[in-house]
Structure 1
Amino acid sequence: MVSTLKRWLIGRPLKSTELGEQRLNKKKALAILSSDALSSVAYGPEQILLVLITISAAAFWYSIPIGMGVLVLLLALILSYRQIIFAYPHGGGAYVVSKQNLGTYPGLIAGGSLLVDYILTVAVSVSAGTDAITSAFPALHAHTVSIAVVFVILITILNLRGLTESASILAYPVYLFVLALFILIGAGLYNILTGGVSPGLHAPIGTPVAGISLFLLLRAFASGSSALTGVEAISNAIPNFKDPAPNNAAKTLMAMGAILALLFSGIVFLAYYYGIVPKAEVTVVSQIAEQTFGRNFMYFFIQGTTALILILAANTGYSAFPLLAVNLAKDKFIPRMFTVRGDRLGYSNGIIILGFLSILLILASKGQTEELIPLYAVGVFIPFTLSQTGMMIKWIRQKPEGWVLKLIINTTGALISFTVTMMFFLTKLAQVWPVFVFLPLIVYLFNRIKKHYEAVSEQLRLTTCEPAVPIEGNVVILPVAGLTHVVEHSLNYAKSLSADQIIAVFVPFEREAGAQFEEKWSKWQPDVRLVTLHSPYRSIIQPLSKFIDVVQRKASESHYQVTVIIPQFIPKKGWHNILHNQTSFMIRAHLLYRKDVIVTTVPYHLKK
């Protein structure tokens, strides 16, 4: 039943030879890998206004120069990540760049930041999409968390079905969103040019505003830069592109940058000209759409596509998180299970873990992820800064042709990214302080995992391992619970091993039961020694464990191996297992951690 449900949800397994068919062309890749960056247009401009409103609505004209500053940073990042794509065509993005050029610890900081950031991407994007839905339908506010969790589950299942299939489905909402916003911006500009919008709704550019300061402007710039989250995703996911992968990735990155610049600048300008004031339960895009079209079909079309892309922006995390996890796992900093491809050739373990952690975050924040946006942004600007700095070091060391221009681009990106990062720490410490907790913990955990793998490798290597102790004989211990076909089957197997000694062990809770069993055993198997261990505290494992210790100590003196054979019957149907005590399973689980004891399970399959 479970297998049938799995096939229905994620589809038939794919052969390894079909991997090439799962790679993305530029159109699908743009939709899948740009959804996070493009969706941030829905809240990036709003973050600028939320800072400026602390002075007054007259300060909103500063959103224009601040927006231009964000576009300069976007240009620097796009050009820089284009260089990273060609310099590191196998993907890995900020993690690989930082590790190779700055060292292991900067690489781990970049990798750890991005792993957490992709979890935040899913949680923030889905919650923001849910907010867009509840803005249009206020009656749904009470169900925000449930709606968000359902969306995460659906996106997780969709990604488990495979990259190509998820891209084919998710491309339509992304392009519909881009179309909807271009229509909104075009209609808004037309209304402005034809006098349909009163110039009195906003303060003219250059209006003096009391209380404004450079610090506040930098704070607004840092907040608006949250619109650039997701720009790095394409450089992480180069292996997902069709060949030639680097060229296709670079073209997709440039297209994403151009679309993002047009949409961001358009929304910033319309929000300023319309005099939009950010509200708790109505988004800025919602207000612009309502003032442009009224609450008609176009308004709901824009709200619907905005909600969809905000939700589907989570898919950027699902595309980039597993690939980043693969790079970390190959370097032995996280579990190797992240390198395993699933039935549909995707890295399903990474997809499932990402979905699970995102749901936990949504539940913990009760779907109110606005406070997470600064943490979300700083989590990506740290890797931005490290990757740009890493590329600077690369060009200085290698000095390839045209390296001076490349160095200038990366230096510009590094300085602006560092400034934004510092502004987040200075102005939003109350929201971003967890960075100082989880980043050291993640780096510590990475190193502990690495040391474990190194220790395992050292112990398993033939050239460094201790020489194996010769085995002169074998003593078999067979726990028994009665005279059954299960015991008979296991006993026959034990005899086939040519063991030097077979000891059956029975653990009764009452002495009378022990005496009765000994009498029956002597008649059934007189040639096999039976040891009865009375257990007044009704424990089977404790007396059995002590007996094995005694036998093992004596056996080791003669270089004998102790083998414990555990009889176990297997019900015909899986659900029948809950009707039984699973004693054999508990004994096996306990003994597996005993040194120098071999545990063998002999299954006996029931027929009905």
Structure 2
Amino acid sequence: MKSSFKRYVIGKPLRSDALGEQKLSKTKALAILSSDALSSVAYGPEQILIVLMTVGTLALWYSLPIAAGVVILLVALILSYRQVIFAYPHGGGAYVVSRENLGVNAGLVAGGSLLVDYILTVAVSVSAGTDAITSAFPSLHPYNVPIAIFFVVFLTILNLRGVTESASILAYPVYLFVGVMLLLIGMGLYHVATGQVPAELHPKVGTPVAGISLFILLKAYASGSSALTGVEAISNAIPNFKNPAPNNAAKTLLAMGAILAVLFIGIVSLAYFYGIAPTAEATVVSQLAEASVGRNLFYYIVQGTTAMILVLAANTGYSAFPLLAVNLSKDGFIPRIFQIRGDRLGYSNGILMLGAAAIVLIILFDGATEHLIPLYAVGVFIPFTLAQTGMMRKWWRDKPKGWIAKFTINTIGAAISFIVAMMFFVTKMPQVWPVFIFLPIIIFLFHRIKLHYQAVGEQLRLNHEELAAIEGNVFIVPVAGITKVVENSLHYAKSLHVEKVIAFYVAFDQADAKAFEEKWKAWQPDVRLVTYYSPYRSITQPLIKFIDKVEHQCTKTGHKVTVVIPQFLPKKGWHHMLHNQSSLLIRTTLLFHRNVVIMTVPFHLSK
């Protein structure tokens, strides 16, 4: 029943060799990896106007040069991350760039910031989309939290079904939003060009404004730069692209930058010409739509697509978080379970972790996560600054052809990103102070996990001398590699003087199987190795299938099958969650086999 329900919800398992079919085209990648950045045009321009309104409506003309400054930063970021894509084609983005060029701790600051930021992306985006829906239907307002949780569960399930399937479904509303926004901007500019918008609605550019200061302008600029969140997602998700992945990712990044620039400048310009000021009752986009076309069908289409894009912006987190987690996991800084592909070839543990964390945030903040937006934005500009500083160091060190132009681009981007990050800290300290607490805690945990894995590796690794050869009933020993745990179990099985000891290994690809067989032959030539290729990445099913075959033969002769399960036991209890509990799963499954004896040979770690 449980398996059938899972198949119904998630879909049938995919073979490992079907991974190529799960790669994204540029069209689909643009939709699911740009949704966060594109959705920010619904609130980025408004953030600029909110700050300027503290001085007065005459200050609204400053939104035009501020918007131009935001676009300059966008261009610098796009060009910078395009260079990151070609320099680091295996993905990882700011984390990999910072780690390689600025050191491990800088990489962990970038990686930790982005992990938290992707969780905030899901919580904030879904909550914002829910607010847009319940604003249109006030009777639903008491159900904000359940509705937001429903959207998170929906997106989690959709992503568990696979990257291609989620992209196929989510592409339509994203492109619909882009089309509707371009149409709205086009109609608005037409009205301006044809003189249908009175000049008295907006202050003249250059009008002196009493009370304006550099601090306010920088604060408005920093607030407007929140529209650039999500720009880095494509550089993290390069492995999800069809080949040639770096070229396709770079083209997608340029397309996203162009669309974002046009939408952002268009909405800010229209807001200026129409003299629109933000209010608690209506968003800037809502006021623009009403001023341009009135409250007709198109107005409600604008509102509906805006609500959709705000919810779907969360999908950028689902696309980038698992891949970033894989990179951190491969380096040993977070648990290895994040490297495991699920039935549909996605990194399902990362997807589930992201969904669960977002739901916790939504519940804790009762669906009102707008106070998290500054934290969300500063969590992006820290990696922006580190990534571009890292690229500066790379060009300075390597000095490839044309490195001066590349160095200049990254220098400009790093400087602006640093200024924006500092402005967030200075002007929004009440909202962003948690970064000074959670980032050190996260980095401390990263290092603790890394130290644990290093200690485990030292205790399990066989040195050169230990790799020398060691010399009725069948004993089957499931093995996951050539380690002291396996050696300990084989020693025990041989000490019982049994007739047959068979090692059983499950490989997830053919090349791995062949390589392991060669290593095994050199290490344990007297122990027969049976290798099984598992295209669906299951460990227990191939093992049970093999045990059933051996058990059937032994039953005829009255012999027993004994499964010797190697298991290492960490010194500290919390270390258990850092390791895959395969031995426990195997043991639990075999308890239902009457003619199989189960033996666990523990190997105790000392640190």
Q: Same fold (TM over 0.5)?
A: yes
1:142 to 1:191, Cα distance in 2 relative to 1, 3 A: farther
> Matched residues in 1 for 2:225 and 2:64: separation?
13
- The AA in structure 2 aligned to 1:427 is T
Match of 1:158 in 2: 158
The residue matched to 1:282 in structure 2 has which SS?
Answer: coil
- The AA in structure 1 aligned to 2:198 is S
The residue matched to 2:65 in structure 1 has which SS?
Answer: helix
Match of 1:273 in 2: 273
User: Residue by residue, what CA displacement relative to the aligned partner does 1:219-267 show, whole Å, maximum 9, x if unpaired?
Assistant: 0000000000000000000000000001000000000000000000001
**Aligned residues of 1:458 and 1:464 also touching (Cα < 8 A):** no
Give, in angstroms, the shift of residue 144 of structure 1. Answer: 1.8
> Matched residues in 2 for 1:366 and 1:199: separation?
43
**Aligned residues of 1:40 and 1:228 also touching (Cα < 8 A):** yes
> Matched residues in 1 for 2:345 and 2:234: separation?
19
Give, in angstroms, the shift of residue 209 of structure 1. Answer: 1.2
Give, in angstroms, the shift of residue 196 of structure 1. Answer: 2.5
Match of 2:241 in 1: 241
Give, in angstroms, the shift of residue 593 of structure 1. Answer: 8.9
- The AA in structure 2 aligned to 1:79 is L
Give, in angstroms, the shift of residue 466 of structure 1. Answer: 11
**Aligned residues of 1:12 and 1:343 also touching (Cα < 8 A):** yes
The answer as to 2:333 corresponding to 1:333 is yes
- The AA in structure 2 aligned to 1:302 is V
Greater CA radius of gyration, 1 or 2?
A: 1
Alignment of 1:253-332 (within 5 A): 253-332=253-332
* TM-score, scaled to structure 1: 0.77
Alignment of 1:55-204 (within 5 A): 55-204=55-204
**Aligned residues of 1:121 and 1:314 also touching (Cα < 8 A):** yes
Alignment of 1:507-522 (within 5 A): none
**Aligned residues of 1:459 and 1:465 also touching (Cα < 8 A):** no
The residue matched to 2:343 in structure 1 has which SS?
Answer: coil
> Matched residues in 1 for 2:284 and 2:2: separation?
45
Give, in angstroms, the shift of residue 281 of structure 1. Answer: 4.1
User: Residue by residue, what CA displacement relative to the aligned partner does 1:147-199 show, whole Å, maximum 9, x if unpaired?
Assistant: 11111110110000000000000000000000000011011111222232222
**Aligned residues of 1:392 and 1:410 also touching (Cα < 8 A):** yes
User: Residue by residue, what CA displacement relative to the aligned partner does 1:391-449 show, whole Å, maximum 9, x if unpaired?
Assistant: 00000000000000000000000000000000000000011001100000000000000
Match of 2:365 in 1: 365
- The AA in structure 2 aligned to 1:16 is S
1:242 to 1:201, Cα distance in 2 relative to 1, 3 A: same
User: Residue by residue, what CA displacement relative to the aligned partner does 1:108-128 show, whole Å, maximum 9, x if unpaired?
Assistant: 000000000000111111111
**Aligned residues of 1:135 and 1:282 also touching (Cα < 8 A):** no
1:605 to 1:341, Cα distance in 2 relative to 1, 3 A: closer
Match of 1:394 in 2: 394
- The AA in structure 2 aligned to 1:237 is A
Give, in angstroms, the shift of residue 594 of structure 1. Answer: 11
**Aligned residues of 1:136 and 1:300 also touching (Cα < 8 A):** no
> Matched residues in 1 for 2:280 and 2:444: separation?
39
> Matched residues in 2 for 1:604 and 1:164: separation?
38
User: Residue by residue, what CA displacement relative to the aligned partner does 1:281-300 show, whole Å, maximum 9, x if unpaired?
Assistant: 42211111122122211011
Aligned length: 485
1:57 to 1:143, Cα distance in 2 relative to 1, 3 A: farther
> Matched residues in 2 for 1:435 and 1:93: separation?
21
> Matched residues in 1 for 2:91 and 2:571: separation?
43
User: Residue by residue, what CA displacement relative to the aligned partner does 1:550-576 show, whole Å, maximum 9, x if unpaired?
Assistant: xxxxxxxxxxxxxxxxxxxxxxxxxxx
- The AA in structure 1 aligned to 2:60 is F
The residue matched to 1:67 in structure 2 has which SS?
Answer: helix
The residue matched to 2:145 in structure 1 has which SS?
Answer: helix
- The AA in structure 1 aligned to 2:434 is P
1:333 to 1:320, Cα distance in 2 relative to 1, 3 A: same
Alignment of 1:516-595 (within 5 A): none
The answer as to 2:213 corresponding to 1:209 is no
- The AA in structure 2 aligned to 1:399 is K
Give, in angstroms, the shift of residue 451 of structure 1. Answer: 0.5
> Matched residues in 2 for 1:371 and 1:160: separation?
29
Give, in angstroms, the shift of residue 603 of structure 1. Answer: 3.9
CA-based RMSD of the aligned residues comes to 2.4
User: Residue by residue, what CA displacement relative to the aligned partner does 1:492-526 show, whole Å, maximum 9, x if unpaired?
Assistant: xxxxx99xxxxxxxxxxxxxxxxxxxxxxxxxxxx
Deviates more, 1:214-223 or 1:139-148: 139-148
User: Residue by residue, what CA displacement relative to the aligned partner does 1:292-328 show, whole Å, maximum 9, x if unpaired?
Assistant: 1222110111111111111111110000000000000
> Matched residues in 2 for 1:144 and 1:94: separation?
34
The residue matched to 1:295 in structure 2 has which SS?
Answer: coil
- The AA in structure 1 aligned to 2:439 is L
- The AA in structure 1 aligned to 2:31 is A
User: Residue by residue, what CA displacement relative to the aligned partner does 1:304-353 show, whole Å, maximum 9, x if unpaired?
Assistant: 11111111111100000000000000000000000000000000000000
Give, in angstroms, the shift of residue 378 of structure 1. Answer: 0.5
1:363 to 1:465, Cα distance in 2 relative to 1, 3 A: farther
Q: Give the fraction of aligned pairs with identical amino acids, expressed as a percent.
A: 72
- The AA in structure 1 aligned to 2:33 is L
- The AA in structure 2 aligned to 1:35 is S
Match of 1:438 in 2: 438
The residue matched to 1:309 in structure 2 has which SS?
Answer: helix
User: Residue by residue, what CA displacement relative to the aligned partner does 1:465-515 show, whole Å, maximum 9, x if unpaired?
Assistant: 999xxxxxxxxxxxxxxxxxxxxxxxxxxxxx99xxxxxxxxxxxxxxxxx
> Matched residues in 2 for 1:188 and 1:199: separation?
14
Match of 1:385 in 2: 385
1:593 to 1:132, Cα distance in 2 relative to 1, 3 A: closer
Deviates more, 1:43-52 or 1:337-346: 43-52
Alignment of 1:431-510 (within 5 A): 431-463=431-463
**Aligned residues of 1:132 and 1:283 also touching (Cα < 8 A):** no
Deviates more, 1:166-175 or 1:362-371: 362-371
> Matched residues in 2 for 1:594 and 1:248: separation?
47
The residue matched to 1:267 in structure 2 has which SS?
Answer: helix
> Matched residues in 1 for 2:459 and 2:271: separation?
64
